[in-house]
Amino acid sequence: MTRDFIHINDFVILVEEADSAKIEVDACYFDEPIVAVAFYGSGNVDLAVKYGEKQKDFQYTKGLSLSFYADEKVEFEHTVSPNKNLKCIVVATKLSKLEQLPNQEGDLFSDLLEELVNPKDHYVEGPSFFMTPEMENIVDAFFSNSYSGKTKMMFFRSQITALLSHFFGQLALKQEEASKPRHREQLNKAKDILLENLENPPSLSELSKAIGFNTTRLKKEFKAIFGVPVFKYLQNERLASAHKLISENEATVQEAAWQVGYDSLSSFSNAFAKKFGYRPSQIK
């Protein structure tokens, strides 16, 4: 059994490799809570995850990418046998360091692995899937490269970045495809909340919380569905409502501005003119 630890930014990379002429069992722990993704190479080792009285078994790991949260009470046990050797890369970050990851990588974990960032048990299994050929090639290269010293570290750094990019890219595609109907329902709910509260709309964070999204996902998916950002949609609906109130003689310009949430009459008039091409006082 060989086990190497590589530190890249706030990631700890655990590279494990083992083969044996007989059955051998090897166990490892993490010394504090982590969020991680394990990538299993061409070996097909058995894995048992043990925590408390619970246990999760994996009998087929070849090509598997497995995301998880684990604290110090979780034991990862690999059973190596003549036909089932171990080739595994674990990319882990301490839960306490998640927000410090560079290049907005922490946001990816929070957006796509939300159940791991807010765990409800000692071990929480996140999304898993079998790797694409490109990902398998990257993992295999870890165990076959002949570099050394600083060149080897540079190689590892580039490969980890590529591997995580593929992982999150595939995960985003799978989650988008699987959740389209549910997301559409939630986004319609967000739209309805805005329409019901034109005068005093919720903040972006309040609206996100109301539909179970984070703000990044809300902004991205609202625009994808409705074609405009959240508050541009709100502004358009406010102005359309005000136009109707004035044109149907249900309110004066000043009253219409107040009813749709504008405190400043000049701001209302300017926004109205920009949208419709004429000022509200010109409606006949």
pLDDT digits (tens, 9 = 90+) for 28-42: 989 999 999 999 998
**Tokens standing for 274?**
């920009």
State the average pLDDT for the chain. 88
Average pLDDT over residues 74-91: 93
Q: How confident is the model at residue 171 (pLDDT cuts 50, 70, 90)?
A: confident
d(CA 275, CA 271): 6
Q: What's the pLDDT at 88?
A: 95
Q: What's the pLDDT at 179?
A: 55
H/E segment holding residue 258: helix 253-259
Average pLDDT over residues 100-114: 77
Q: What's the pLDDT at 148?
A: 87
Residue type, 92: A
Asked whether the whole model's pTM tops 0.75, one would answer: no
Q: What's the pLDDT at 108?
A: 78
Q: Taking 70 as the threshold, does the pLDDT of residue 178 lie above it?
A: no
Q: Taking 80 as the threshold, does the pLDDT of residue 105 lie above it?
A: no
Q: Is 112 left (phi over 0), alpha (psi -120 to 50) or beta?
A: alpha
Average pLDDT over residues 94-98: 82
In percent, how much of the chain has pLDDT > 90?
48
Length of the chain: 284
Q: Taking 80 as the threshold, does the pLDDT of residue 176 lie above it?
A: no
Average pLDDT over residues 276-282: 89
Which range, of 40-44, 64-68, 176-180, 197-201, averages the lowest pLDDT? 176-180
Which range, of 105-119, 122-136, 137-151, 178-192, averages the lowest pLDDT? 178-192
Three-state DSSP state, 192: helix
H helices of the chain, in order, are: 105-112, 114-117, 133-144, 149-196, 204-211, 215-226, 230-247, 253-259, 265-276
Q: How confident is the model at residue 173 (pLDDT cuts 50, 70, 90)?
A: confident
Which range, of 95-104, 147-156, 183-192, 229-238, averages the lowest pLDDT? 95-104
Q: What's the pLDDT at 7?
A: 87
Q: What's the pLDDT at 220?
A: 86
